[in-house]
Amino acid sequence: MANFFTHHTILFFLIALGFFVFTIKNEKYNVIFKILAIIVFASTCYFGLHSLLVAAFLLIYHYNKRASKLQKLLCKILVLFVLGFNVLFYFILKSSHLYFGTSSTFDVAQPLFQAMISDFGSVIGIGITIWLLAAIGFILSWKYKFKFILLYFTMFALIFLSTRYLFFVMYLNVIVVFFAAHAFKKILDREWDLEFIKNLVIIVLICSFLFSAVSFANRIAEAPPDGSILRSLRELGTYEKGIVLTYPEKAWWIEYYSKQPVFSSILDKDRTAIANEILQSKSIELTEDLIEQHSIRYIWIDSEMTDGQVWSSREQGLLWLLPNQDKFKNLYNIDHVEIWEYIG
């Protein structure tokens, strides 16, 4: 989950930064800013074709707001250039380890409704109060529907895309917050018969925002790695240097806390596939061949991996092979965290 969050946060930042630099108004350095924006947008090709949709939408929106024909032409050329550049490099990078595109590793195992609302346990959603305000803001904005037609289209497109790929919820949040802010401003600007009621409503809303923020912060603070995992990683760090095999999403824990080299991370698609093959294999010959071929020495397993993330029972895959004392040695087994050494 942490890798999912970090991956799309970086992408979101790059798109926002590119659009910000692109829209800076400075006659003296205008060309320089446009070139910098292109470089920033071009870097999003590392993350997959879906990034093009967001970048292209922002540039097209900016293009439609331009007054002069020259500005419109310039924006149109830049949109085509960014799209063409990214599509080209997407296909070049997709087959390499440099490609960070979304894979099954980044899937969030949550229903769409739950993923959209942070109060229900989502790390990519927003609070239910903001959703309610956004609904009010949407209704209030409807009388200006022709002004917001592009925004409405984008919102419904993102809702549809979110049913297929949950990471689009992060982009949908921007529009939701916009409508929520519109509703909140209307509440502030509205003439109230009783000032006390107005102040009470505002206080309740602000307290609700704070509650959602604190709840989210606590949930992130309690997320893995917990104490039992950290203890096992410190123990792993005391062993002789050796490549560690684990579920790819957990590789950065091992690298950071134990300082041991890991076999694969989510950014290396080829090694991730090999790691999954080893973890799911019940063939001792195939498993030994892959482990020796890639010089893997340690295998690190936590309770999440044995509770469905990789296996659902001890009779599956590598978990079934590990008790073979001629090939594997158990070095650590405390609080549902295991460390095994391949002894061949």
Taking the C-alpha atoms of residue 77 and residue 59, their distance in angstroms, rounded to an integer, is 10
| Burial letters 24-59, b for 16+ CB under 10 A, else e | eeeeeeeeebbebbbebbbbbbbbbbbbbbbbbbbb
**CB 213, CB 227: distance < 8 Å:** no
Q: pTM here?
A: 0.61
Question: Within 13 A of 188's CA, how many CA atoms are on the CB side?
Answer: 10
| 334 phi and psi angles, rounded to 5 deg | -135, 135
Tokens 């405390």, located at residue: 334
Cα 3 to Cα 47, 95, 105, 227: the distances in Å are: 13, 21, 9, 20
Question: Within 13 A of 20's CA, how many CA atoms are on the CB side?
Answer: 6
- List, for residues 51-69, the tens digit of each pLDDT value: 666 666 666 666 665 556 6
In angstroms and rounded to an integer, the radius of gyration of the C-alpha atoms of the chain is 25
Element (H, E) at 331: strand 328-334
Q: Which residues pair with 24 in a beta bridge?
A: none
- List, for residues 108-135, the tens digit of each pLDDT value: 445 666 667 776 766 677 788 888 999 9
DSSP code of residue 341: E
Count the neighbouring beta carbons within 10 Å of the beta carbon of residue 264.
Answer: 24
Label residue 48 left, alpha or beta by phi (over 0 means left) and psi (-120 to 50 means alpha). left
Taking the C-alpha atoms of residue 169 and residue 161, their distance in angstroms, rounded to an integer, is 9
Cα 13 to Cα 17, 150, 153, 182: the distances in Å are: 6, 22, 23, 23
Domain 227-342 CATH assignment equals 3.40.50.12610 = yes
> Domain residue spans in the chain?
2-103, 112-221, 227-342
For the chain, 344 residues long, give each residue's pLDDT as a single digit of tens. Answer: 445 555 667 777 887 788 788 777 777 777 788 778 777 877 776 666 566 666 666 666 666 655 566 666 666 666 666 666 655 655 555 544 444 444 443 344 456 666 677 767 666 777 888 889 999 999 998 888 887 887 888 888 888 877 777 777 777 888 898 899 999 999 888 888 888 888 898 999 999 888 888 887 777 777 778 888 999 999 999 999 999 999 988 888 898 899 999 998 666 778 888 999 999 998 889 999 999 999 999 999 999 899 888 998 888 889 899 887 688 999 999 998 999 999 87
**CB 281, CB 297: distance < 8 Å:** no
Cα 333 to Cα 85, 301, 337: the distances in Å are: 50, 9, 6
Cα 202 to Cα 126, 173, 188: the distances in Å are: 19, 22, 8
Cα 121 to Cα 124, 129, 241: the distances in Å are: 9, 15, 38
Taking the C-alpha atoms of residue 246 and residue 257, their distance in angstroms, rounded to an integer, is 14
